[in-house]
Structure 1
Amino acid sequence: MMKLLLIVVLSVSISDCKYQTGSLVTNEKWAFITRFCFLSQDGQFEYSIQFDKSYAPQNLLLYYDSDTQWPAVYKSNKTCPQREAVLSRKMNQIIPLDPKDFGSGCEEKKSNSSTIISCHQARRFHSSRERWWFLAVSNCNSTKGLNLEYRFLMTNGPSGDYWHEHFSADEFYILPVLMAFCVVYMLLVLAVIICSMELKTRQLLHATYKLFAFSVYLQQIGIFLQIVAYIRYASDGVGILRLRNLGRFFESASEVVYLILLLLLAKGYTITRGRLRLASSIKLTIFMCVYVVTYIILFVYERLFFDPGEVLYIYESPAGYGLVTLRIIAWWMFLYATIFTLKHYPEKATFYYPFNLIGTMWFVAGPAFIIAANNLIDKWVRESVVCAVQHFIALSGHILFLVLTVPNKANKNFPYHVRTTQIGIMELGNGLAGNSTLDHFGHHPYAPGGPMLPNVDPHWPRVPVELFTITSTIHTESASLAVPLRPTSLRPRLSRGRSTYTANHLVVHPEEISAMDYTSLDVPALEARNDIVPSREDIVPSICDIVPAPSDVVPSAPPITSIGSKSSSAINPAPPSAPAPSILTNGSAVTDEGGAEDSNPAPSKPVGFKEVRFSDDDVVPSKEKAL
């Protein structure tokens, strides 16, 4: 659908270029050609017109935007003489294209079979204020209609005046305004990239924040493309109309993406839930499709039905007012969803109260300004004012949302507390992760400045302790511990498809454990450490022991649970009177070749470990129990 919108926007060919050439062939006696907004003193109009003498005499008519002139004659039932009667010859509003008229700049040129009248002249406009001027051609006595070729150059400044020469008076400040917003958006894009990297490090870069970043990028691209088109326009008075329309497309896409973002966050997506209900998803999809289709109709209407003889704003159409109506409906949807999200998650009030205010301002400001622009703003300044205000509304929405979600310790409004990895696990598993589900996250306000784990692994920097810390206990699908022991160390190999998470445990299946060559361990380095928990002895024939992670990364261990088999045998610990197996420096038990423990094992000095005995509760000893 967005591709269709792009095609429609690029096909819009309404041109307001001020260096205009063309030909006029009509059976009418009076016809409109073009319009331009001239300054009160510096406006200049230069024309070159050619036509066959058989169509003479033709007149060039200059109307301005007073109610008694152009609005009184355009699209009226007045005859050709009546339309000429509202003009003043003393004010040079009627230019006879006749060689006999000294001020017309016309002369006759003979050709092989006909006589051509060629006219070339320039006029300067003087008025009390900036005015829209409308150019028309007439021949009230003609029986064949009108036929001529023309070239018009309309300027508002001396040659070389880059900022004014080719621009209509209502467009004077568009290029500087776009450049200013482009600079601000460059800084905003940089800030968004930095925040995105920080959120990605914390595993909090959710889909909604990616939508926000995408909206900012689209807006910046759209502004940049329009700047390029206007720079070319300032140079030659023609510009690159398709490039300008492409920039408008990117800005429209940015608005649509930002609208989706606000509605999704209002429903709590990625903040209080990992997915929307099916009914909500269908309603939101239908609404956004209608919104995009209305946008397409808006550009199509501009292409097919906008009359260049009228100074119209793009929203001065049925599609424009339809888009305003949809924005109001979206605002009510936004308020409704926000209220119910706060009802179920009141601890998120620090985010949703300012978010509701920002969203309301964004939703209301757009339609309110559109209505004001259509009815209250003067037409000779409307284009520049509309450009500045619309970009300011978009920029305000982006900046306020960025401030609201900046991952900083001082930001008490930060909304996210569930990690992207947790949502991914819930999507791949049974939809559970601790006390959170895809439909309802746990009630946990995020603390961006929470205490960090001491001496954490360098691959997990800046991780708050309270956020989804996984203990070191590893559960296996074992049936019995009454198996021979082997001096082999194993380490878990996590399989994304098989490993599961329960409320407080990381569960690993036996087939997901791979052997580790303990002979390659750096024994002297291990001897220097006193914080390594001793390994657990083999509990199935293929498993001997598991070396837990260091205690500076892993907290205490909850009880082990057998989940694989429907019936699990009781674990038979050694009698209290029997001596526990000695622990080697690599954490393995000493056994004989037959698998039974030596009744009189040679004394072996443990390296950083104490003797460990397994209790009746089948618990893999944590560091606190082992040391």
Structure 2
Amino acid sequence: MKSTQFTSVGFLGLILVQLLMMSAVEAKFIHGHLTTASNFQFLDRFCFQPNEKGTLHYEIKYKADQCCYKLLMFNDEPGQWQYIRKHEDTMTCGEKKEVIPGSYNNKLTLEDGFNGCEKSTDADSIEWIRCVGGRSFQTDRTRWWYLVISNCYSDNGIEFEYNITMTNGVKLWDKHFSADERYILETNMIFFFVYFAMFGVTMHFTKVLKERKLLHCTYKLFVWSILAELSSLLLLTVALGSYGSTGVPLPGLQMFANLLGAAGNLVFILMIILLGKGFTVTRGTLSELSWIKLAIFMTLYSITYFALYIYEETMFDPRDVLYKYESVAGYGLVGPFFIGFLWTCYAIFTSIKDYPDKVSFYVPFGVIFALWWLATPVTIFICNHAIETWVRAKIVNCIERAVICGGHVFFLLLTRPNAANKNFPFHIKTTQIAALDDDDDGNDTHRYGDINDFVMRAESGNVVGLDFTDLFMTDHDTVPAYAVPAEKVPAEKVPAQILLADKVPACKQTVIQIEPRPRPIINSWMQ
């Protein structure tokens, strides 16, 4: 019940986050009807690829009495768009226009007889100027270009209709991607096939664990996170493939894909924390305080992401090339990851101290997932300070995919259910969980999957009166009401026996009588 309530809270926060989480590729086919009081209006930006046939096709229509408009194309050189952004409040429209050197063919006059423009009259005797044309871009490096339409001699602003298409190269599946977004589709396709293979292996391992009654809820969380990531990549591949070939995005599909991917990541984080605390590995449940801490942390994690994307949607200016991590909220995201890193390390340290027999699982688990927690803060730092803007989107996408996939692959290998795997964490059957609750204060009784405590008590002779229903369970056997010394009960009259000498040499003289009692119990996991 606790885990169900917690998961519901976490997913509610996640859904709120994803409603604003639109990190998908923006369309480079833009169109609309624009009316503004400004006489210098930014339209869009695009990053053209070197050694590719970059093209710009435009169709612009405005009333002839507003003549004449200009279509301006600024690049990312320090003396052009960057200079305008720093001084735009003190520069006039004409001064901004003259920032483009006269030798550049980047100022297109949209006047009758120039650059594909023609004057026409409609049925209402209104004269219009309609311009249809294009430009090609050949650059020595990947470069950002910023499109602006202006009418510096107008006192009434500007009003026009437009359709603009920008492409990189002629490849069918990615020509509409800006250079900073190219290869995101190919990267996602590669990871999709990796996850497809991983999901097949995971299903096989799940079948084996289920047959052995070792399919715990933490492993089910892992399976769900794999499935969510696989589904997310499939939908993103479809959406981005359609966009790359047509220039028309599928925002609803991309939003749902991002929702699935973030849900899978949230589930995976939950699994890491639960395993770090020993849940289903060294203990059967967690204390109330532990569940409260988990709920607070996951809520904090979701709220931070919520703030990150709220900030991106409301505060980021499309005239600047910014990424989601370039904000106060982006740096604030580092906090929950460091909390998760410290919490997981402390939980693993405690689990190893209390259960040294699980060190073969927790040492590699702790090392890898400590690095996994730190990967996102490192990615944020690299994104903001060490990657050029024209390659940032595709590099960060690759890093984020690799980090998530690496965590999944490592956990899959660590939990492979075969005899040669000494790191396998689960040694208690799922049918025994109910008998292995922690104490009320959250301190485990060290009976989870370990016979040593029972053996020590048997060797000391303190066997009389013990109730072994917490150690043995079956679906149909009976429960031992009492355990009495062997010398008081003739062996031939004992209805069922467990000879500890068969399993524990140090207890050869102890025979435990099992008398019927009408409730199901646990079958011996020593067999």
TM range (shorter): 0.7 to 0.9
Q: Structure 2 matches for 1:418-567, cutoff 5 A?
A: 418-426=428-436, 439-442=444-447, 444=449, 501=469, 507-508=478-479, 558-560=512-514
| Structure 1 position 155 matched with structure 2 position 155 | no
Match of 1:145 among 157, 181, 187: 157
Q: CA deviation at 1:213?
A: 1.2
Q: Distance in 2 between matches of 1:13 and 1:444?
A: 46
- Look up the match of 2:297: 287
Q: Could you tell me how far 1:535 is from its partner in structure 2?
A: 10
Q: What amino acid maps onto 1:81 in structure 2? A: G
Structure 2 counterparts to residues 548-627 of structure 1, below 5 A: 558-560=512-514
How far off its partner does 1:157 sit? 1.4
CA shift, 1:351, in A, is 0.7
Shift in Å at residue 391 of structure 1?
A: 0.6
The aligned amino acid for 1:214 is W
Question: 2:289 is paired with a residue of what secondary structure?
Answer: helix
Counterpart contact for 2:35–2:158, Cα < 8 Å:
yes
Inter-partner Cα distance in structure 1 for 2:516 and 2:193: 61
Contact between 1:163 and 1:172, CA under 8 Å: does it hold in 2? Answer: no
Instruction: State the alpha-carbon separation in 2 of the partners of residues 110 and 370 from structure 1.
Output: 55
Relative to structure 1, is the Cα distance of residues 18 and 274 closer, same or farther in structure 2, using a 3 angstrom cutoff?
Answer: same
What whole-Å deviation, never above 9, does each CA across 1:241-297 have from its counterpart, x for those lacking one?
A: 221122122211222111111111111111111111222221111011111122222
Match of 1:240 among 229, 233, 250: 250
Task: Report if the CA contact (8 A) 1:12-1:299 is conserved.
Answer: yes
TM-superposed CA distance for 1:145, in Å, is: 0.3
CA contact (8 A) 1:199 1:205 kept: yes
The 3 A distance-change label for structure 1 pair 324 and 88 is same
Instruction: Summarize deviations over 1:56-113 as a string: whole Å, max 9, x none.
Output: 2111110111222112113632221221121124211111111143xx1111111223
Aligned equivalent of 1:269:
279
- Is the CA contact 1:106–1:119 (under 8 Å) kept in the aligned structure 2? yes
Could you tell me how far 1:311 is from its partner in structure 2?
1.5
Alpha-carbon deviation of 1:189?
0.6
SS of 1:124's equivalent? Answer: strand
Point out the more displaced range, 262-271 or 274-283: 274-283
Percent identical? 36
Distance 1:504 1:221 in 2: 41
Deviations 1:282-323 (A, max 9, x none): 111101111112222223333323222121212222222222
* Aligned counterpart, 1:93: 106
Q: Secondary structure at the residue paired with 1:170?
A: coil
Assess, with a 3 A threshold, how the Cα gap between structure 1 residues 334 and 141 changes in structure 2: closer, same or farther.
same
TM (norm. structure 2) is 0.82
Any conservation in 2 of the 1:10–1:242 contact (CA below 8 Å)? Answer: no
Return the alpha-carbon distance in structure 1 between the equivalents of residues 421 and 97 of structure 2.
68
Per the alignment, do residues 13 and 417 of structure 1 end up closer, same or farther by CA in structure 2, a change over 3 Å counting? Answer: closer
- Give 2:64's match in structure 1, choosing from 46, 53, 57: 53
SS at match of 1:501: helix
CA distance in 2: counterparts of 1:373 and 1:509, whole angstroms: 63
Query: How far did residue 563 of structure 1 move?
Result: 7.7
Change (3 A) 1:89 1:98: farther
Counterpart pick for 2:119 among 89, 92, 108: 108
Please identify, of 397-406 and 2-11, the stretch whose mean Cα deviation from structure 2 is larger: 2-11
Distance 1:193 1:397 in 2: 17
Cα deviation, residue 212, structure 1: 1.1
Other-structure match for 1:540: none
C-alpha deviation, 1:560, in angstroms: 3.8
1:183 pairs, out of 173, 178, 193, with 193
Q: TM-score, normalised by structure 1?
A: 0.70
Distance 1:251 1:245 in 2: 10
Which letter does structure 2 place at the counterpart of 1:38?
F
SS at match of 1:258: helix
Tell me which residue corresponds to 1:65: 76
Q: How does 1:373-392 map to 2 (within 5 A)?
A: 373-392=383-402
Check whether the contact 2:142–2:179 (CA below 8 A) recurs between aligned residues: yes
Report the Cα offset of residue 11 of structure 1.
5.6
Residue of structure 2 equivalent to 1:79 = 92
Q: Which residue of the partner structure matches residue 610 of structure 1? A: none
User: Aligned-pair distance for 1:155?
Assistant: 0.8
CA offset at residue 416 of structure 1?
A: 1.4
Q: Which residue of 2 aligns with 1:513?
A: none
Taking the aligned partners of 1:181 and 1:440, their CA distance within structure 2 comes to 43
* SS of aligned partner of 2:333: helix
* Matched position secondary structure for 1:74: helix
Question: Match of 2:512, SS?
Answer: coil
Q: Tell me the SS of whatever aligns to 1:44.
A: strand
Distance 1:118 1:503, change over 3 A: closer
Q: Which structure has the larger Rg? A: 1
Q: Secondary structure, in 3 states, of the residue corresponding to 1:150?
A: strand
Contact 2:469 2:480 in 1 (8 A): no
Indicate how the Cα distance of structure 1 residues 217 and 509 shifts in structure 2: closer, same or farther if over 3 A, else same: same
Structure with more helix by fraction: 2
In 1, Cα distance between equivalents of 2:338 and 2:168: 40
Q: Which residue of 2 aligns with 1:9?
A: 18
The alpha-carbon deviation at position 440 of structure 1 amounts to: 3.3
**Which stretch shifts more, 239-248 or 21-30?**
239-248
Counterpart contact for 1:208–1:264, Cα < 8 Å? yes
Give the secondary-structure state (helix, strand or coil) at the position aligned to 1:171: coil
> 1:90/1:313 Cα in 2 relative to 1: closer, same or farther (>3 Å)?
same
Q: CA RMSD in A?
A: 3.0
Q: Distance in 2 between matches of 1:250 and 1:509?
A: 49
* Partners of 2:93 and 2:152 within 8 A in 1: yes
Evaluate the alpha carbon distance shift between residue 90 and residue 562 of structure 1 in structure 2; reply closer, same or farther with a 3 A threshold.
closer
Query: Which runs of 5 or more structure 1 residues have no equivalent in the other structure?
Result: 447-465, 467-498, 511-533, 538-545, 565-627
How does 1:280-429 map onto structure 2 within 5 Å? 280-426=290-436
Distance 2:15 2:449 in 1: 43
- Tell me: CA distance 1:438–1:501, structure 2 relative to 1, closer, same or farther (3 Å): farther
2:174/2:245 contact within 8 Å kept: no
1:134: which partner in 2? 146
2:450 and 2:142 map into 1 onto residues whose CA distance is: 57
Partner letter of residue 299 of structure 1? Y
The structure showing larger relative contact order (alpha-carbon pairs under 8 Å, at least 6 residues apart) is 2
Q: For structure 2, list consecutive stretches of 5 or more residues without a partner in the other structure.
A: 1-8, 456-466, 482-490, 504-509, 519-527
CA distance in structure 2 between the partners assigned to 1:390 and 1:202 by the alignment: 35
Alpha-carbon distance between aligned partners in 2 of 1:146 and 1:500, rounded to the nearest angstrom: 85
Partners of 1:175 and 1:227 within 8 A in 2: yes
